Every structure is written in C-alpha cells, then in structure tokens.
Amino acid sequence: MEKEQIPHPAPPLELQKAPEPEPRQPVMINVDDVDFCYGTHQVLFDVNLEIPPRAVTAFIGPSGCGKTTLLRCFNRMNDLIDGARISAGRVRLEGRNIYAPEVDVVDLRRRVGMVFQKSNPFPKSIYENVAYGLRVLGVNKKARINEAVEKSLRASAL
C-alpha cells in the first residue's frame, strides 16, 4: 500500500494590526442629504456638509446657485418665507436636528446669527421693518409694537 501524500499546511496568516483611525473631529453643523424647495421649485439637491467648530468656511459660487438659501437653513430664516421648506434631509447643530418640532427657533437664531456682505433692506414700510424683529420674537400686542417702533424711530431721529 502506498502512502498518501498529505500536503503541507499553509503557513499561518500574518495578521497586521490595522492602523488606529484618526480621532474624528467634532462637528458643529451637519447637513445631511438636504433638498430645499421654494414652493414646487427645488433649488438645493442632496447637499452634504460638515462644519467643525470655530472653522472659517466659505461658500463660493455664481449668483442664484443656493449659497444664501443654504446659509439661511442653518438658523431657519427660510421659515419666514411662504412655501420655502427643506423637502428632504436634515440640518443638525451639535448633533441635534434643528428642524425638530421641539426646537425653540428664537433661541436657535440667537445661537446662529448671520451678517450678509451686502445689506438687504426689508421691502416694507419703515414701521414694518422696525416691527419685524419684534414679530419674529413673538411679540403680537399692537400697543407694545407701536410703543417700541415709536421709541426706536425717535431715538434714530426719524
């Protein structure tokens, strides 16, 4: 009887330890798969972005490409425009969905402010432009608004 040849076992696998992943930077603002519409007209398509804390971030592009619309999503200023809405995706500030129903929008706008390079005056009367801030803060009493507007206009000599 002939001896059966048994193949030599394969040499043991040499496992190399995978390099440790670099620690993930904290993210202040996350934009996840955001689509945005004005009425039925979609202007942002599947936007994804991570902005770390204290980062200088620039949005560069031609007029009308959605830079300001995206910025206004960060503090929900688009909520003030009839028919404007995020139709898909989410925007998170420090991990929290800023479009969740329990979010205090006034507090959000205190934390996420904006200053635009070119001023855009409101297309209303002087009275309505001054009263606008109070209305956004939820002041609805006409007497309170009248008093504040008059005081502001007198202080600015208007």
Integer Cα distance of 37 and 73 in angstroms: 11
151 and 77, same structural domain? no
60 and 33, same structural domain? yes
**What CATH number did the domain enclosing 93 receive?**
3.40.50.300
Residue 2 in domain: no
46 and 81, same structural domain? yes
**Per-residue pLDDT in tens (0 to 9) along the chain, 158 residues:** 566 666 666 566 566 666 666 667 789 999 999 999 999 999 999 999 999 998 888 888 888 899 999 999 999 999 988 999 999 999 999 999 999 999 999 899 888 887 666 666 666 788 888 888 888 888 889 999 999 999 988 888 76
Q: What residues form DSSP beta bridges with 86?
A: 36
- Total structural domains in the chain? 2
